[in-house]
Amino acid sequence: MSTATAPAAASGATTSLTMAQALNTALRDAMREDPTVLVMGEDVGTLGGVFRITDGLAAEFGADRCLDTPLAEAGILGSAVGMAMYGLRPVVELQFDAFAYPAFEQLLSHVAKMRNRTAGRLPLPITIRIPYGGGIGGVEHHSDSSEAYYAHTPGLHVLTPATVADGYGMLRAAIASDDPVVFLEPKRLYWSKDEITPGPVEPIGRAVVRRQGTSATLLTYGPSLPVCLEAAEVARAEGWDLAVVDLRSLTPFDDETVTAAVRATGRAVVVHEATGFGGPGAEIAARVTERCFHHLAAPVLRVTGFDIPYPPPMLERHHLPGVDRILDAVARLQWEQ
């Protein structure tokens, strides 16, 4: 596996990076700027993480600030709570989506609630990085899309970058946040490459229109963004001009951008890898319908993973939303009326 280490991005300078390198650079820059930031998790130190996102951090900042922990996710997140109570700003890596579940009680009962139950006296500025989603041929327990669990929990911010630039910018914003952030990294985009120009840290919670269009609006995030952009390209040949919105943040949710983008076309499809029933798409479709009902020419449709346990790698392509399934949904948006 190639190294993720990249030179620290000086603000304003353009560099070509993979998303993995952009995330690594964001961690390094945050650690250089703020001595209270520390990274902790399984294999993050000597190895640099199984995806090399923490590569080189132990060498630069020492084992105390890039802490190899025992293999116990509740212990990792629980310790991070205590560290944050004492004024540190932990960035926790939970190695894979489905291995984050042992930390659930700490996340739901303490991390998400501490600010609220102490009336603001004990905020917990913890960033919880979780590589998530499928598409890399991972065996069981390595490909879950678990965002709905987190988005359903008040007190957490839930972010997921889909571009290299957002990998850097949104992770910096997450670390700077005084609230806990679940930062979901689409692992199949780790090796996507782009030129980025780091700027000042942006506030979290805004969606971005990645592609303007007039026929219908695709609402998506994380690993499904490149699929939607590809679908929009193919659709052009079939006479549809599709807009694509990258949600970036599930909590808080940018109703303003989404509502405007759907009203502009009158048709919408929500696309995500996570299973459909009770998934983020259900919430998004409901919000869009509540806000755009009189602007809609068709029901809001969803293209999601099937309601099945994540399939074995040789079958995962049938599960994941692809270009054809997205275009089939677009075709069902009542164009005849």
Partner 1 sequence: MTLLDQPAGPSASVWPPNAHGPRRDPAPLLPDPEPFRLLDTPAADKLDPELLRDLYRRLVLGRRYNQQATTLTKQGRLAVYPASTGQEACQVAAALVLREDDWLFPSYRDTLAVVSRGVRPVEALTLLRGNAHHGWDPKAHRTAPLSTPLATQAPHAVGLAHAARLRGDDVVALALVGDGGTSEGDFHEALNFAGVLGAPVVFLVQNNGYAISVPLSKQSAAPTLAHKAVGYGISGRLVDGNDAAAMHTVLTEAVEHARSGRGPVLVEAVTYRLEAHTNADDATRYRTPDEVDAWQERDPLAVLERHLRAHDLIDDAGVAAAAEAAEELAAEMRAEFHSEPELDPLSLFTHVYAEPTPQLREQADLLAAELAAEADAR
Residues 151/180, Cβ–Cβ less than 8 Å:
no
The nearest distance, CB 249 to partner 1, in angstroms, is 10
Q: Which of 110, 142, 272, 319 is catalytic?
A: 142
Asked about 142 being catalytic, the answer comes back as yes
141 vs 206 by CB, closer to partner 1: 206
Q: Which of 40, 33, 42, 39 is nearest to 11 (CA)?
A: 33
6 vs 174 by CB, closer to partner 1: 174
Phi, psi at 324, each rounded to 5°: -65, -45
Residues 257/209, Cβ–Cβ less than 8 Å:
yes
Euclidean distance between CA atoms 209 and 211, whole angstroms: 6
Please give the helix or strand (H or E) that residue 270 lies within, else none.
Answer: strand 268-275
Residues 77/24, Cβ–Cβ less than 8 Å:
no
The nearest distance, CB 117 to partner 1, in angstroms, is 4
Q: Burial-class residue 322 by CB neighbours within 10 Å (0-12, 13-18, 19+).
A: middle
110 vs 319 by CB, closer to partner 1: 110
The nearest distance, CB 245 to partner 1, in angstroms, is 16
- Residues contributing to the site for partner 1 (CB under 8 A): 38, 64, 69-70, 72, 74-75, 77-88, 102, 105-106, 109-110, 113-123, 154-155, 157, 177-179, 205, 251-253, 255-256
The nearest distance, CB 50 to partner 1, in angstroms, is 19
**Which residue numbers are catalytic?**
142
